[in-house]
Chain A
Amino acid sequence: MNKNSNRLLRICAVAAAALLSILSSPAADTSRNIFVFTQIRYEGDWDPYPGMWEEIISFLTTTTSVAAARERKIIAVGEGIFQTPVVWLFGKREFAPLSDAQVKILRDFFDRGGTMFIDDSSDSVESPFRRGIQREFARIFPGKRWERIPESHSIYRSFYLMRGPAGRVMRRDYLEGVLSGSRYAAVLSSNDIGGAWQKDKFGNYLYECVPLRDHQRWESHKLTVNFILYSLTGTYKSDAVHQPFIERKIRR
């Protein structure tokens, strides 16, 4: 089969499965222990890709056993953050500093097991958004730094086996994280993963992935699923029982 056929087959499969998942997915409900796509709202450009979450949930429930709500939850940094342990933060521009109370809330959130995925959707390597993130996390975790997540980390193996990060544009060839205990409580991508998901109203992807186009988009989709599986399973794929299988597959 050629590449176009593969692509068509993949699109059909996803569409069919998406239809099935829409029919079978639980209704919007934060109970029953199902995954809810929760996004942080703040003063600034907090929602660069409004339709992205639907694509993510559709893909997630089609390809994995994760049960997910067919809704997006939007919250501000406040007491409500403790209702969902996994949150997403998107942005591309500078944003206002958090209040001291918000800093404490986030610190408690991470201490109690919360996880945050941060996606920099800007156009530059050292973007204002990134600077804002580093500024606020220096307050949340004094003394801790953003560190490079090694490629052997379970975040790259939580569902798909990946050799590195992905995104719409490859500005950095690594993800960054802040450790809380033995897990990465916050993960930062500089490569605009959200942009690889966004579609127009006709269902076409809005943005080209640079430089590797469809392959890069596919990797971005896989990495997003890996984020979610990591948030729901932790370092499960680092357990000893998995290593021989994973090493064997990587070597092939």
Chain B
Amino acid sequence: MSDKEALFEYLIRLGDNSLILSQRLGEWCGHGPLLEQDIALTNVALDLVGQARIILSYAGEVEGNGRSEDDLAFFRDEKEFRNNLLVEQPNSDFGATILRQYLFDVFQFYLYSSLSKSRDERLKAFAEKSLKEVTYHKKHSADWVLRLGDGTEESHQRMQSALDELWVYTDELFEMDEVDQILIEKGIAANPEEIRASWDKDVQSILTEASLSIPDTMGYMATGSRKGHHTEYLGYILAEMQIVPRSMPDAKW
């Protein structure tokens, strides 16, 4: 694999995570349990779209085939997407959404902190800027995990069910393959092992304080997104996201 191919693949992974999670959060628009949280989730979604735009634009340039951010977002099929399985999981109730958000926010926080030292200037600038917003996301989601986990009997039960469902998708965030190796050696990518250590510490601490228990998945952890193998949910997400430009590909705004 060439350096260029590795970088493109790495950028697509970053961009697709932001894009798909943003799309999921957008589904909450107008359906939030409280006005303030409806606005919060959609604001986070907007920050994530901004991230996706910057990274996918860069990815298109790196690839060098003339694909724009829009081409990459709207005209790729499921198998070409590289987002982690966690972000395509259903919104379910607000508790599940905010727990999924928290697990992802902590991951992005340490990932972008590390990428802020990347030798790739564009990636470094992107990480420095996005980290500021991600810091706010993380504070918001952590506060809600605590509030709901250590809340009423019902909120606690819903949070525990959500954690039982989502935990199997967490290992995948820290997978390492040839793409990572090539870029880590060049000082461009972050080291998943280091991020994992920080993530574990943070997450254990908050979950404990929220009186939530990490489920025993009996050694099983979901995987596959690196090869474009996704859960059945991604197809539906893409259908909704891509229908307009695919129906009228020549349309101009």
Q: Do A and B bind each other?
A: no
